[in-house]
Chains A and B, each alone.
Chain A
Amino acid sequence: MADKILKKLNIKVWRQNRASEKGKFETYTIENISTGSSFLEMLDILNNDLIEKGIDPIAFDHDCREGICGTCSLYINGRPHGPDTEITTCQLHMRKFKEGETIVIEPWRAKAFPVVKDLVVNRTAFDKILQAGGFISVNTGGVPDGNAIPVGYDDAEEAMDAAACIGCGACVAACKNSSAMLFVAAKVSHLAKLPQGKVEAKRRARNMIAKMDELGFGGCTNTGACEVECPKSISISNISRLNREYLVARFSE
């Protein structure tokens, strides 16, 4: 089946040369886009047009383009990763848009995610949070036997669900407080559910939250927007677990 063609679209996009410069919106028109193409392909086509016209192409993040790496971002028409649910921007298709529509594209907006250029933001804040405690310490040596440490089925499932987080930052972008709680909750939970993670549980919760606060993310007010916009549907019940882990760590000091 041939895909429908969108004859004309207006793309209103945030342009900003570098972090230290002020940015502004520019609107470009683009013609004959197949509804079967992905959102990023549409941007590639637009960028080709721009290059031919001698305009600096739009910088945006992307890598795997198969929904697994978490590199692509973009706040599209008022929602992180655009109008579709449970997907990343690279998995968004042009069939979600209408003929003649103006599509507004903005970078993730958060103090802790400064703009690098155009739509690219610096998400190293997430790496710093992970470095503060999102790991387990092990003695190196031979590979341990598989199944040597028994893990219950439900625990394994919940740990795996939490481990599905790809660190894209959509939760921060969606949150009215630019809070990183869903990300931190996912990273704390996938370890908290496993025996290997229990050893450093208290230190982990305390240090990761301290780092999160220090980097300028806002606090959680339980609006639940993060869960809805998360491409991996990480549940906010993980945030409750994070709160529990943190409070236990604090009160047992």
Chain B
Amino acid sequence: MSKFLTASIGKKFIMSITGIFLMMFILVHLTINLLLIFDDTGELFNKGAHFMATNPVIKIVEPLLGLGFMIHILWSFVISYQNWRARPIRYAKSNPGESSTWASRNMLILGALVLVFLVTHIINFFWIIKFAPDSMESINGTNMENTYKLVSELFIESIPYCIVYIIGAILLGLHLTHGFWSAFQTLGLNNKNWMKRLEWIAKIYAVIVAVGFSVIPLYFMLVK
């Protein structure tokens, strides 16, 4: 097993499994977030966020998710460093744009920028909701953090934050234009017929993520 984890394909396997797990999380996260713009009283979103924070399955998934992020990020630096070392002398003149997409060559840069966003995001919301709730609300008798208030106030008050969130969403989308189909290729779940299909599904998924997460700050910035 240790041999598997240090082999090139083994390391890629880890990236792919954690990546797919993170992509599933992103979809759930987006679905809940979109409740923000479909109910201006915030009740729907608060209920959704409260449910996501308290249901028993989340208790198991949340630490797994943290672990998934850590492994994906740590591994990405290890892999990138090792791949970089495989070419000690660089080319003087190189035309990589002729044969591959920019996103596919810059997964680490895109990932690292997403990471910067992720840290901001955790400080802005996750941390406050979890450890320093400052505004509570009671819906149907249950006390819960007024997450709607937290999110909507941040976006309404600060245009720079809105822009940071939109850029974050676009960067993640770019990461996934390549990451999505690449994850299946890595697992061996691809062939001649599925190649084009997976690339298309990747594009659609990436656009949904980028547009979906951008719409929310845009809504508060422009409509509210």
Please state if B100 and A240 are interface contacts (CB–CB under 8 Å).
Answer: no
Which residues of B lie under 8 Å from residue A225 when comparing CB positions?
Answer: 96, 99-100
Flag whether B10 is at the interface (Cβ < 8 A).
Answer: yes
**A residues in contact with B134, CB < 8 Å:** none
B113 at the interface (CB under 8 A from A): no
Do A220 and B8 have beta carbons less than 8 Å apart?
Answer: yes
CB distance from A158 to the nearest CB of B (A): 8
| Contact of B142 with A by CB under 8 A | no
In chain A, positions 209-253 with a C-beta closer than 8 Å to chain B are: 209-210, 212-213, 216-225, 228-229, 235-237, 239-248, 250
**Which residue of chain B has its CB nearest to the CB of A213?**
B8
Instruction: Indicate which residue in A78, A109, A218, A228 contacts B89 across the interface (CB closer than 8 Å).
Output: A109
Closest 3 CB pairs of A and B: A244-B188, A78-B95, A218-B86
Determine the main DSSP class of B at the interface with A. helix
- Select A111's contact among B87, B92, B93, B105, beta carbons within 8 Å: B87
Q: In the complex, which residues 17-43 of chain A have their Cβ closer than 8 Å to any Cβ of chain B?
A: 25
Asked if A75 contacts B86 (CB within 8 A), the reply is: no
Q: Is the CB of A209 within 8 A of B91?
A: no
With A174-B99, A224-B104 in contact, do A218 and B93 touch (Cβ < 8 Å)?
no
Q: Which residue of A lies closest to B79 (CB)?
A: A219
Distance of A250 from chain B, by nearest CB (Å): 5
Query: How many Å lie between the Cα of A109 and that of B87 in the bound state?
Result: 6
Q: Which residues of B contact A235 (CB under 8 A)?
A: 192, 195
Main secondary structure of the interface of A (DSSP, over half): mixed
Q: Is the CB of A177 within 8 A of B83?
A: yes
**A130 interfacial contact with B, CB 8 Å:** no
Q: A191-222 interface mask toward B, CB cutoff 8 Å, 1 = contact, 0 = none?
A: 00000000000000000011011001111111
Give chain A residues whose Cβ lies under 8 Å from the Cβ of B13. 247
| A residues in contact with B105, CB < 8 Å | 176, 223
Q: Given contacts A176-B96, A237-B190, could you give 17 more A-B pairs where the C-beta distance is less than 8 Å?
A: A78-B95, A106-B91, A110-B87, A174-B99, A176-B87, A177-B84, A179-B8, A209-B9, A218-B83, A220-B8, A223-B105, A224-B99, A235-B192, A242-B9, A243-B188, A245-B188, A247-B9
Once A240-B190, A247-B13 are accepted as A-B contacts, the answer to whether A178 and B185 lie under 8 Å apart by CB is no
B189 at the interface (CB under 8 A from A): yes
Task: List, in ascending order, chain B residues with CB within 8 A of A72's CB.
Answer: none
Using a CB-CB cutoff of 8 Å, which residues 152-193 of chain B contact chain A?
178, 181-182, 184-192
Chain B positions within 8 Å of A, measured between CB atoms, are 3-4, 7-13, 79, 82-96, 98-101, 104-105, 107, 178, 181-182, 184-192, 195
Is B11 within 8 A of A219, CB to CB? yes
B108: min CB distance to chain A, Å: 9
Residues of B within 8 Å of A111, CB to CB, are 85-88
**Closest A residue, CB atoms, query B195:** A237
Q: Which residue of A lies closest to B4 (CB)?
A: A250
Q: Which residues of B contact A237 (CB under 8 A)?
A: 190-192, 195
Q: Which of B7, B94, B101, B191 contacts A240 (CB 8 A)?
A: B191
Note all chain A residues with C-beta closer than 8 A to B185.
Answer: 222, 236, 239-240, 243
Bound together, the chains give a CA A188 to CA B96 distance in angstroms of 27
Whether the Cβ atoms of B91 and A179 lie closer than 8 Å is no
CA gap between A133 and B195 in the complex, in Å: 27
User: Are A78 and B91 in contact, with the CB atoms below 8 A?
Assistant: yes
CB-based nearest A residue for B104:
A223
Contact across chains for A109 and B90 when beta carbons are under 8 A apart: yes
* A212 pairs with B8, CB closer than 8 A: yes
Which residue of the partner chain A has the closest CB to B87? Answer: A178
User: 17 A-B Cβ contacts within 8 A?
Assistant: A77-B93, A79-B98, A109-B87, A158-B192, A176-B105, A213-B7, A218-B86, A221-B79, A224-B99, A224-B104, A228-B98, A229-B99, A236-B185, A239-B185, A240-B185, A246-B9, A248-B188
